[in-house]
């Protein structure tokens, strides 16, 4: 792990993460709209049908690329997107001297959970915050 995050450091990134996820929501919604608006091509489509289908496909590919860039942006902040739909992002951290994932789920206002590196969301544990005189180490 390149950087070990303190919970407070991740807390400061949450507004940015929420904004990025909102952007991805818009891109994914528009992609779905385009997918449903795309006319099915008949057995012998005409040039106009082919062009319209290609235009819509191109827009969808662009939007999906933007979502991928947003995922990479989160990576550049130090997070690892674990579940795009659920809005799960893990950040490398340390609890009681152990390397762990500080686990954030979209909608949470601060980092309250962690899980071991080998475990996932289902094994989240409550974080004892140092600002609550707990033994979280960094």
Residue 113 pLDDT = 95
Q: Are 126 and 115 in contact (CB under 8 A)?
A: no
- Which stretch of DSSP H or E encloses residue 101? strand 98-105
- Which stretch of DSSP H or E encloses residue 80? strand 80-83
Torsion, Cα of 73, 16, 107, 105 (10° steps):
40
Residue 125 pLDDT = 94
DSSP string, 18-71: HHHHHHHHHHHHHHHHHHHHSPPP-SS--HHHHHHHHHHHHHHHHHHHHHHHHH
- Read off the tokens for 136: 């979280």
Residue 51 pLDDT = 87
Residue 49 pLDDT = 83
* Residues 57-103: tens digit of each pLDDT: 999 999 999 999 999 999 999 999 999 999 999 999 999 999 999 99
Q: CA-to-CA distance for 77 and 91, rounded, in angstroms? A: 9
* Residues 23-43: tens digit of each pLDDT: 999 999 999 999 888 777 667
* Residues 94-134: tens digit of each pLDDT: 999 999 999 999 999 999 999 999 988 889 999 987 644 33
Q: CA-to-CA distance for 126 and 80, rounded, in angstroms? A: 19
Residue 38 pLDDT = 74
Residue 42 pLDDT = 67
């Amino acid at each position: 792990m390149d950087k070990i995050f303190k919970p407070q450091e991740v807390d400061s990134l949450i507004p940015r993460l929420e904004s990025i996820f909102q952007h991805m929501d818009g891109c994914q919604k528009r992609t779905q709209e385009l997918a449903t608006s795309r006319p099915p091509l008949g057995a012998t489509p005409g040039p106009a049908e082919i062009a319209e289908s290609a235009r819509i496909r191109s827009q969808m590919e662009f939007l999906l690329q933007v979502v991928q860039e947003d995922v990479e942006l989160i990576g550049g902040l130090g997070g690892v997107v674990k579940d795009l739909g659920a809005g799960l992002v893990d950040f490398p951290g340390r609890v009681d001297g152990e390397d762990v994932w500080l686990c954030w789920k979209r909608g949470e206002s601060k980092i309250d959970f962690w899980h071991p590196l080998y475990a996932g969301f289902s094994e989240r544990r409550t974080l004892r915050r140092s600002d609550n005189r707990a033994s979280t180490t960094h």
